[in-house]
Amino acid sequence: MSTALEWNALRLRLENQIEDIAAKIQSYPPPITGCDEQFNHFLELRRVLPQELARLDNVVRDRSLTIHEFIVTSPIEEILSDLSS
């Protein structure tokens, strides 16, 4: 089972990602026709990251998954995998 320290480290990384995405969205240049794919990705992350933070809190409270299981069941698995390395 994953330790509280490991869960806390993942939580802090998720919180940092939320702040990073907010800063990227705020500083994003005006739209250029056909080039908004990255911006839309940032908007999707802004929506999903807080949900994953809430899911993390539930998993830690219930002790229902390991960190690895949490990551591989996430819609943002690729980002979480990078964060846990």
> Token pair for residue 11?
């939580």
pTM: 0.77
Number of H helices, E strands in the chain: 4, 0
Q: Which of 36, 37, 44 is nearest to 17 (CA)?
A: 44
Tens-digit pLDDT string for the chain (85 aa): 678 999 999 999 999 999 999 999 999 887 776 667 888 889 999 999 999 999 999 999 999 999 999 999 999 999 888 876 6
CB 28 within 8 A of CB 39: yes
Cα 18 versus chain centre, distance: 7
Which structural domain, as residue segments, surrounds residue 9? 4-84
Tell me, what's the pLDDT at 80? 86
Tell me, what's the pLDDT at 30? 79
Structural domain count, the chain: 1
